[in-house]
Amino acid sequence: MNQTLPMPATPFCTPQPLLRVRQLGKRYGALTALHDASFDLWPGEVLAVVGESGSGKSTLLNAVAALSRPDSGGVEYRLRDGTLEDVHALSAARQRLLARTDWGFVHQNPADGLRMDVSAGANVGERLMGLGWRHYGQLRATALEWLQRVEIDPWRIDDTPRVFSGGMRQRLQIARNLVTSPRLLFMDEPTSGLDVSVQARLLDLLRRLTQELQLAVVIVTHDLAVARLLAQRMVVMQRGRIVESGLTDQLLDDPQHPYTQLLVSSVLPP
C-alpha cells in the first residue's frame, strides 16, 4: 500500500493553535466562577472539559465562545486568513458573523439552539440564508444532504423539531451548526438529556463527523465515557480552576490530581 493517505487528525502536526485561551477569569459577585483558565486548541482536535456540576465548565465555554465577557484574560482565535484575533475585542457584528459561520454551538437543550416552530429544512438553511443564499432549490438540497448526514429521514424535512424525538432534535441541532462548514464547534453537554442507546448513536455520529470535517471541538461534559470516546485531550475542572490537563487516555488511566483520581474512581463499572 503505497497510497498516500490524507493527514490524520493528529493535533501536534500543526504548529499553530486554532484557539488560545489565556488566564480567563470570571466572577459572579463574591463567587469566583472561573480562575486563571488557560488552554490551546489545535485544528481538528477534540478537547473535553470535565468536572462536577458548578465547577465552571459552562462558564468557561461561554467565555471562550464569546457568549459572555470574562473579567480577566483573553481568547484568541485564528481566522481563516491565518491572523490571530482577540475574540472579545472584535465588534459585535464580527463576533456574530464568526459565531454563525466559522463556529458552531450545540446547546444541551436542543430547544435553545433550534427554532422549534419552523421546519427542519429551514432550521438547517437558516445560517445559509443569513449568509445570503437566495436559491430555494439549493437550500433544500443542502438541507436534505445534511439531514441524511446526521441520520434523519429525509422525508421529515418539512416537520418541525417539536415533533422530533430528543435524539433527533440534537442531531438536527448539529446539522444546523455544521452546514456552514465551521472549523470550531462548542458543545455543552450534548448527550446528557438522552437515554443510553441514543447517546451511543449520537457519540458515534459525532466521532465520524469530527473526523470527516476535521473539526476542532470543545466539549463540556460530566460523563467521562463521552470524553474517552470523543476527545484526544481533556482538562479537569474543580471550583473554577483547571486542576489537571493532558491526553485523555493518559489522564483517565493515570490520574495525578486527587480530584481527578476521585472523579475516575467514582465511575461505576457497568
Partner 1 sequence: MNAPTPSAPLQAATAAACSSAPAINFAYLDERSKRMIRRALLKAVAIPGYQVPFGSREMPLPYGWGTGGIQVTAAVIGPNDVLKVIDQGSDDTVNAVNIRRFFQRTAGVPITTQTRAATLIQTRHRIPETPLREGQIIVYQVPVPEPLQRLEPRETETRTLHALAEYGLMHVKLYEDIARHGHIATTYDYPVLVNGRYLMSPSPIPKFDNPKLHRNPALQLFGAGREKRIYAVPPYTKVESLSFDDHPFEVQRWEAACALCGATDAFLDEVIIDDQGTRQHTCSDSDHCQQRRAAASTVAA
**Which positions touch partner 1 (CB under 8 A)?**
92-93, 96, 115, 118-119, 121-122, 125-132, 134-137, 139-140, 157-158
CB 94 to partner 1: min, Å: 10
Question: What letters, b where the CB count within 10 A reaches 16 and e where it falls short, cover 71-98?
Answer: eebbbbbbeeeeeeeebbebeeeebeeb
CB 115 to partner 1: min, Å: 7
Among the residues of 65-131, which ranges form H helices? 92-101, 110-113, 120-130
CB 100 to partner 1: min, Å: 9
Of the pair 131, 163, the CB lying nearest partner 1 is at 131
What distance in Å separates the CA atoms of residue 15 and residue 21, rounded to the nearest whole number?
16
Of the pair 86, 158, the CB lying nearest partner 1 is at 158
Exposure on the CB side of residue 216, measured as CA atoms within 13 A: 18
Of the pair 120, 217, the CB lying nearest partner 1 is at 120
What distance in Å separates the CA atoms of residue 267 and residue 270, rounded to the nearest whole number?
9
CB 141 to partner 1: min, Å: 11
C-alpha cell of 182?
465551521
Torsion of CA 235, 264, 187, 238, to 10 degrees: -50
Of the pair 27, 88, the CB lying nearest partner 1 is at 88
Of the pair 31, 129, the CB lying nearest partner 1 is at 129
Q: How many CB atoms lie within 10 A of CB 20?
A: 18
CB 160 to partner 1: min, Å: 10
